[in-house]
Amino acid sequence: MSVQSVLEEIRERPGSGEVIPIIDPATEEQITEFTDGGAEAVDAAVARAKATADSGVWKDLAASKKAKILWRIADLIDENAAVLAGLESLNAGIPEFQAQTIVEVGSEWFRYYAGWCTKLDGIAHDVATTGLTGVESRLHAYSLKEPYGVVGLIFPWNGPVFNYCAKLAPALAAGCSSIVKPAEETPLSALVFDRILAEAGIPDGVVNLVTGYGHTTGAAITAHPDVEKVAFTGSTEVGRAIVHASADSNLNKITLELGGKSPVLIFDDADIDTAIMYAGIGTFVHSGQACVCGSRILVQRSVFDRVVAGLAQFGDSLQLGGPKDEGSMIGPLISKKQLNRVLGFLDDGKSDGVEYVTGGQRLDRPGYFVRPTVVTNVDPATSRLFKEEIFGPVVTVLPFDTEEEAVALANDSTYGLAATVYTKDLGRAHRVAKRLQAGTVSLNCQLVFDHSMPFGGYKQSGWGFESGRAGIETYLQTKFVWAQM
């Protein structure tokens, strides 16, 4: 399989709706196109998935055999790493060296969850109880962990390989049948995965790819009466629509990994140079299009000017460019729509009188490139730049005087995805970590990740978890069995 063959293959995907162009975000040129799958493609995919779920062909396969197949998928991802990384770069504008890392993390999802296939055990009890009847009985009670039948896996454009693996690996390990829908901007790598799954021995119909728009194809998945669970990663706005769809259809179970506006707190006793470097990477990586990017940096007043200057210098030092451009460190925004959204925020800031210490505009070249932007003089009570998720290379930097004030500013958000603290004071680090309203808190580090650690959001950043034991639990339901002795 090659990048070129995937660009051709996607044109043949089933669909009945609009033709959707796929644009290279680094050049603004169309690279291929495909047809929106729509409700018809979803109905066919769900019928296939339900038939395999009912047959037990995957669910009831011996756990050790499932595990072997997941390991094989991981190995095949590694063997196809060049094509996957090439597509990730071309389609999402991610520099090649980062795309390779993402693919390596992707195969590890399958190795990690392969281990869980054989460990999905319940509990057992011998119980003597009168229950609600008043008659004392001796009972044996046990619980079973059972997969949902058909699950819908819907994810965004900002890391297609990462998101595919993060959802499908636990769904397969749990024994579910899946409908997979990548974002309309970045469906290409999913075609490679389809081949990998077949070669690894996943039975036909267990994983069913559908491609298309969210409001048509995605919405058809979430409203389908045979879809028992939806695992979604994307914006809070669409997350809300998915909750409505569940309420209006079959009350399917939902997990949501949503947006963020993550604070980074830098105290004056921190190793300031290290904090600037990590905060810079944590803010501008992938042009700010990672959900955990630090986008509100709060700095103790005595080191405020130094940190602002350091961040601006760091941002200026990052070479923007297409994945194939020599020395390129960060790529473009994903689409014209996203570019216009980010520029809209920057325009708003200009009329609000904020100060752009660096950046603030797009690059004068083809491609959706926005310069790393550091913003100060922001009113936290009113500024959209401070309050809303921009999902671009834009960071607001605010001063604080006391720990109390820093925590209050950090928690002043409807989001609660991630937060970071830089300080050498161990007591303060743990005290502040406890008070921050976020699903992940990093102390003196940023963008750290491991498959074994549960990841999820507080407040409007999500419901439930991904990764770790908690991640696979979301694809399982628990049944209790009572047996009269």
Q: Is residue 177 within a helix (H) or strand (E), and if so which, with residue range?
A: strand 177-181
**Distance between the two ends of the chain, CA-based, in angstroms?**
58
Nearer to ligand NAD, 81 or 390 (CB): 390
Q: What is the smallest separation between the CB atom of 249 and ligand NAD, expressed in angstroms? A: 12
Residue 218 CB, shortest distance to ligand NAD, in Å, is: 2
Burial of 433 (0-12, 13-18, 19+ CB in 10 A): middle
Pairwise CA distance, residues 375 & 398, whole Å: 9
With respect to ligand NAD, which residue has the nearer C-beta, 258 or 299? 258
Closest of 168, 255, 304 to residue 463, by C-alpha:
255
User: Is the CB of 147 or the CB of 182 nearer to ligand NAD?
Assistant: 182
Nearest-approach distance from CB 438 to ligand NAD, in angstroms: 11
Shortest approach of ligand NAD to residue 349 CB, angstroms? 20
Residue nearest to ligand NAD (CB): 214
* CB-based contacts of 229, cutoff 8 Å, min separation 6: 148, 151, 152, 176, 252, 253, 254, 255, 474, 475
Query: Cβ distance 392 to 288 under 8 Å?
Result: yes
Which CB sits closer to ligand NAD, 291 or 303? Answer: 291
The DSSP string of 235-293 is -HHHHHHHHHHHHHTT--EEEEE----EEEEE-TTS-HHHHHHHHHHHHHGGGG-STT-
Chain centroid to CA 184: how far? 15
- Closer CB to ligand NAD, 245 or 409, in the complex: 245
Instruction: Look up residue 213 and give its two tokens.
Output: 């728009």
**CB-nearer residue toward ligand NAD: 216 or 423:** 216
Residue nearer to ligand NAD on the CB measure, 58 or 164: 164
- In the complex, the smallest distance separating the C-beta of residue 341 from ligand NAD, rounded to whole angstroms, is 9
With 0-12 / 13-18 / 19 or more C-beta atoms within 10 angstroms meaning exposed / middle / buried, residue 105 is middle
Does 445 participate in catalysis according to the annotation?
Answer: no
* Nearer to ligand NAD among residue 175 and residue 462 (C-beta): 462
**Alpha carbon distance 377, 397 (integer Å):** 8
d(C-alpha 248, C-alpha 252), whole Å: 10
Q: What are phi and psi of 246, to 5 degrees?
A: -65, -45
Smallest gap from residue 272 Cβ to ligand NAD (A): 28
3-state DSSP assignment of residue 323:
coil
Distance of closest approach, residue 32 Cβ to ligand NAD, in angstroms = 18
Minimum gap (Å) between residue 245 Cβ and ligand NAD:
7
In the numeric block, the tokens 């310069």 are attached to 371
Q: Which helix (H) or strand (E) holds 105?
A: helix 96-116
The two tokens of residue 18 are 């609009």
Q: How far is the CB of 39 from ligand NAD (least distance, A)?
A: 12
Q: Is 33 a catalytic residue?
A: no
Q: If you ran DSSP here, which 8-state letter would residue 218 be given?
A: I
Which residues, other chains included, contact 407 with Cβ-Cβ below 8 Å and sequence gap of 6+? 265, 432, 435, 436
CA-based nearest residue to 299, from 321, 334, 330, 272: 272
312 burial (CB, 10 Å; 0-12 / 13-18 / 19+) is buried
Q: Of 88, 228, 257, 473, which one is the catalytic site residue?
A: 257
From the candidates 117, 291, 293, 466, give the one annotated as an active-site residue.
291
Residues that bind ligand NAD (CB under 6 A): 154-158, 181, 183-184, 213-215, 218-219, 222, 233-235, 238, 241-242, 257-260, 291, 389, 391, 417, 457, 462
Closer of 238 and 354 to ligand NAD (Cβ): 238
Catalytically active residues are 257, 291
